[in-house]
């Protein structure tokens, strides 16, 4: 049966692709945790120096830079959306 969930779970190609996807998901997770650690250090440094943590012009520059660097299937709108979420999450996760 083509739509049988059991046959899908046993399909070698599907299993291999899912393994590759989870490997990439783990890399994304590691990169997000590294980003959070760096931003946490940056936030502490800026606060010690009396500087504002959020720099909207830097955020806008970063998104434009990433759009220029993007050579994959992710659209500019998709990139803007995902990094908007990442920026908001980073601000929340690094707040004291």
- Domains of the chain (ranges; CATH) run 5-94 (1.20.59.10)
Number of H helices, E strands in the chain: 4, 0
Task: Of 17, 46, 35, give the one whose Cα is nearest residue 82.
Answer: 35
Q: 42-54: per-residue pLDDT in tens? A: 999 999 999 999 9
Q: 17-74: per-residue pLDDT in tens? A: 999 999 999 999 999 999 999 999 999 999 999 999 999 999 999 999 999 999 999 9
Measure the CA–CA gap between 29 and 21, rounded to whole angstroms. 12
């Amino acid at each position: 049966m083509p739509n049988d969930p059991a046959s899908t779970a046993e399909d070698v190609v599907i299993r291999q692709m899912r393994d590759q996807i989870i490997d990439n998901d783990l890399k994304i997770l590691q990169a997000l945790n590294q980003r959070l650690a760096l931003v946490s250090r940056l936030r502490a440094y800026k606060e010690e120096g009396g500087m504002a943590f959020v720099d909207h012009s830097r955020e806008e520059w970063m998104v434009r830079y990433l759009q220029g660097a993007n050579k994959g299937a992710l659209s500019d709108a998709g990139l803007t959306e995902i990094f908007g979420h990442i920026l908001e999450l980073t601000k929340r996760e690094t707040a004291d």
